[in-house]
Amino acid sequence: MFDSYNRRINYLRISVTDRCNLRCTYCMPAEGIPLMQHSDILSFEEIMEVVDAAVTLGVDKVRITGGEPLVRKGIVNLIEMIASKPGIQDLGMTTNGQLLQQFAQPLKDAGLHRINVSLDTLNPGKYRQITRGGEIDKVLKGIEAAVKSGLSPVKINCVIVKSSSEPDAIEVAEYGKKLGLQVRFIRQMDLEKGEFYIVDGGSGGDCSTCNRLRLTANGMIKPCLFNDMEYNVREHGAHKALQLALGNKPSCGTVNKHGEFYNIGG
Ligand code: SAM
Ligand code: SF4
């Protein structure tokens, strides 16, 4: 499918939960967030309706995100459901890695292709501080398990304040190099202030080549991360909501006053 600016849209990012087992300083307040009602969160069947409609419209690439996708009950089953859908060429996930050690092989066996693991520093104390309680050992073991399981590629998402020459970023880059993993540097963004940047080593944040739509955990199709627009799949039905998002996808992001990374999924 093509949007009004002739960009080919083939990529759907699905946030499966607003819940998270971490509280990264740049993403969530320390006390957490008012959680969505369970009844507001799309069931797997409802998510699959959106995936089906998206595939019919030409989506062949899906990424599962959150919140933390590995805290959603039955996530491996959802991966299996999406992976077995004809037309899906590329199925990825973005995770903080806290639970990855036990999930890597089941995810691979269920049909997940690739995985991005978030890691901003190699310093255990600093990691704990940034994530407000995360354990770096778990992430590192999770990354090892992901590589061993055959998930490919395994990439690292490293949030930086300003530049990839910050000391933490340099250490993460060296760690990635040692393991042969690509590191993507994501400059800290502020959706409300309209501060967003092109991802260094990735494709996000470049409006002219944007190929994505997003589905939030509570069933909103968002044409742009940096804009408030959203279309409710429960209200419009999946097909119509996707078409509305496609037709109204802005040429470039501006500001998003309501959305946050943890409920849109980055
Ligand atoms: N919980 C998973 C994780 O952390 O990988 C998936 C969801 S998280 C919202 C997706 C990505 O968004 C992560 O790589 C995270 O570092 C990034 N992110 C969160 N808040 C951000 C911000 N304010 N600016 C830039 N990236 C951000
Ligand atoms: Fe959770 Fe990911 Fe946000 Fe960190 S960046 S608080 S791990 S959703």
- The residue to mutate among 16, 18, 23, having the most atoms of ligand 2 within 8 angstroms of its beta carbon, is 23
DSSP assignment string, 121-187: -S-HHHHHHHHTS--HHHHHHHHHHHHHHT-S-EEEEEEESS-TTSHHHHHHHHHHHHHT-EEEEEE
Quote the percentage of the chain above a pLDDT of 90. Answer: 86
Please, what is the end-to-end C-alpha distance for the chain in angstroms?
Answer: 22
For tokens 């990354």, the residue is: 143
Residue 37 lies in a domain: yes
pLDDT in tens, 194-217: 888 888 766 777 899 999 999 999
Is the CB of 261 within 6 Å of ligand 1?
yes
CA distance 216 to 36: 11
Query: Nearest 5°: CA angle at 198, between 196 and 201?
Result: 140
Which ligand is closest to the CA of 28, given by its number? 2
Kindly tell me if the per-residue pLDDT of 129 is higher than 80: yes
| Nearest residue to 83 via CA among 63, 53, 104, 103 | 63
Alpha-carbon torsion (198, 227, 161, 265), positive or negative: negative
Kindly tell me if the per-residue pLDDT of 141 is higher than 80: yes
Which of 37-51, 55-69, 226-240, 245-259 is predicted least confidently? Answer: 245-259
Q: What backbone torsions phi and psi does residue 127 show, to the nearest 5 degrees?
A: -60, -45
Chain center to CA of 37: 21
Which ligand is closest to the CA of 68, given by its number? 1
Is the CB of 20 within 6 Å of ligand 1?
yes
CA distance 136 to 21: 13
Residue 10 lies in a domain: no
| pLDDT confidence of residue 265 | 80
Kindly tell me if the per-residue pLDDT of 174 is higher than 90: yes
Q: Is the pTM of this model over 0.85?
A: yes
Residue 116 lies in a domain: yes
Atom of ligand 2 nearest to the CA of 265: 8
Mean of all residue pLDDT scores within the chain: 95
Q: What backbone torsions phi and psi does residue 249 show, to the nearest 5 degrees?
A: -60, 120
Residue 13 lies in a domain: no
Phi-psi region at 39: left, alpha or beta (left = phi > 0; alpha = psi -120 to 50): alpha
CA distance 218 to 220: 6
pLDDT in tens, 214-255: 999 999 999 999 999 999 999 999 999 999 999 999 999 999
Phi-psi region at 151: left, alpha or beta (left = phi > 0; alpha = psi -120 to 50): beta
Residue 219 lies in a domain: yes
**Average pLDDT estimate for 85-98:** 98
**Average pLDDT estimate for 115-123:** 98
Residue 66 lies in a domain: yes
| Higher-pLDDT residue of 191, 153 | 153
As given in the structure block, the two tokens for residue 66 are: 């959150």
The count of domains in the chain is 1
Kindly tell me if the per-residue pLDDT of 263 is higher than 80: no
**Integer angstrom CA distances of residue 191 from 5, 160, 230, 253:** 23, 16, 15, 10
CATH number, domain of 47, equals: 3.20.20.70
- The residue to mutate among 14, 27, 94, 225, having the most atoms of ligand 2 within 8 angstroms of its beta carbon, is 27
Domain containing residue 64: 22-264
Ligand 1 centroid from CA 119, angstroms: 10
Residue 76 lies in a domain: yes
Residue 12 lies in a domain: no
